[in-house]
Structure 1
Amino acid sequence: MLGFSLSRLPDLDYDGHFREKFALVPGYWYYFGFGHYRYGMLIHLASVLPAGILMVFQFTPVIRHKFITFHRINGYIVLLLCLVSNASAFVIIPHKQGGNRITSHAVEMLMCIITTIGIFMAWWNIRRKQIDQHRAWMIRTMFYMGVTITARLINLAAGKVISRFGNYWSVWMCDEISFLYTNLGMGLPQG
């Protein structure tokens, strides 16, 4: 999680690095360049990346045992950042790289719901001084959040496999196609 979060930090330069270098599917800037999807993605990146970095300190035994106050404050910061990240993820899910497929959206929403429940269960258990249950829920929740990394690896492999078949099609609106051609500096085909 730490390595992934550190490698994605340049994405906070949203109009620069994120737009130019990030592996957005062509044409997705149509959604993520403007309006509430833009702000949803900005808030998501600005909350999930610091949470991914700070959570490492939560699972470091020396910090957990010797610096209890730091562990507690950092824990609340990580939990808050994760909740903000989940809320903003709900905004961007309809046009994430999953496309318009309802199944991928359902899975992504389920992941947000499960991690939110895990966060609340961990918080509830630490309030009741059930440290073992708190630790178990935190570890579960952070593994759930790591699904994003695994999904990216699977998408890379699946993209290669699907492109070999050569018959995968996707439906786009005319506005999206026009935006893509304009954004890439290409003229629209004449029919």
Structure 2
Amino acid sequence: MTGLTAVKTLKTISLTILVLVALYFVIDRVLPYFFKFNIEHYKSYYWPNKWWLVGHLSGGALALLIGPFQLSTPFRNRFIKIHRSLGKLYISGIMIASLSAFYMSFYVAPQVNVSWSISLFVLALVWLASVLMAYRAIMLKQIPQHREWMIRSYIISLGFVLFRFLNESSLVQELMPAFEERGPACLWLSWTVPLFASEMLLQWNKKKIKNRKRPQSDFDNEPVGYNFKP
């Protein structure tokens, strides 16, 4: 197996895993809020603002399920029209989900504490900004930048999945028994660490640009204290 084939295989496996994770999360954690639309399931915490939660879950689930297909090069090359249509849905889903999260950060999250409210607000802000940057890049026909921002936006989307895993981990619960302390910490970790790691990979894989020597001008030999005035 050549190096190029190995990379393609690894990408295919990674995208397949993402699809399976997204499917599991949507079926196990999102759909119950639609099938059990009552105060018993939503609890008093969410029920008064249930429609904002529905918007957040719907948009987030849409982004989770569409994301892997948008990141797949073979899928994009073969179904370019579908890729563009799904891209519009992906952007719309994140916009709806993030704006709903903005609302909940002000009117729902403060029931826990200010720290939880701030952490949710910042996550929603970064999520929305990343997908808008991806949209701006494609409008300017900046394909490499568009792909990078799409990767960042999907990693932030996965932050909600990772948050559930961290928050419900027995080890984390032993370290931080109270949700007031555990929740904000897990929410920050769920997107900042993966985003930082992905940024390192994105920058590491970029081709090195050789520095060209700048032609020396007459001003290069001027004394440091010389102030040039045109």
The structure 2 residue matched to 1:12, chosen from 31, 40, 45, is 31
Larger relative contact order, structure 1 or 2 (CA cutoff 8 Å, min sep 6):
1
SS at match of 1:146: helix
Contact in 2 for aligned 1:115/1:144 (Cα 8 Å): yes
Matched, 1:159 2:173: yes
Contact 2:64–2:158 under 8 Å retained in 1: no
Does residue 55 (structure 1) correspond to residue 73 (structure 2)? The answer is no
8 Å CA contact retained: 2:63, 2:157: no
Out of 99, 109, 113, the position equivalent to 2:125 is 113
Structure 2 vs 1, CA of residues 162 and 42 (structure 1 numbering), >3 Å: closer, same or farther? same
Q: Note the C-alpha offset of 1:68.
A: 1.0
CA distance in 2, matches of 1:169, 1:136: 34
Among 128, 143, 147, which residue is 1:131 paired with? 143
- Matched to 1:2, the amino acid is V
Structure 1 residue identity aligned to 2:27: L
Query: How many Å separate the matches in 2 of 1:9 and 1:21?
Result: 19
- 1:44 aligned to which of 50, 56, 69: 56
Shift of 1:5: 3.3
8 Å Cα contact 2:60-2:157 kept in structure 1: no
The sequence identity of aligned pairs, in percent, is: 22
TM-score by length of 1: 0.71
* TM-score of the superposed pair, with normalisation by structure 2: 0.60
Q: Any stretches of 5+ residues in structure 1 without a counterpart?
A: 23-27, 171-191
- 111 and 60 in structure 1: CA distance in 2 versus 1, 3 angstrom threshold: same
| Structure 2 Cα separation of the partners of residues 68 and 40 of structure 1 | 33
The Cα offsets for residues 139-174 of structure 1, whole Å up to 9 and x where unpaired, read as: 1111122222222222123223334xxxx597xxxx
Q: 1:95 — aligned with what? A: 108
- The 3 A distance-change label for structure 1 pair 160 and 145 is same
List runs of 5+ in structure 2 lacking aligned partners: 1-17, 181-230
Tell me how far apart the structure 2 counterparts of residues 140 and 14 of structure 1 sit (CA, whole Å): 27
CA RMSD after TM alignment: 2.7
Q: 1:80 corresponds to which residue?
A: 92
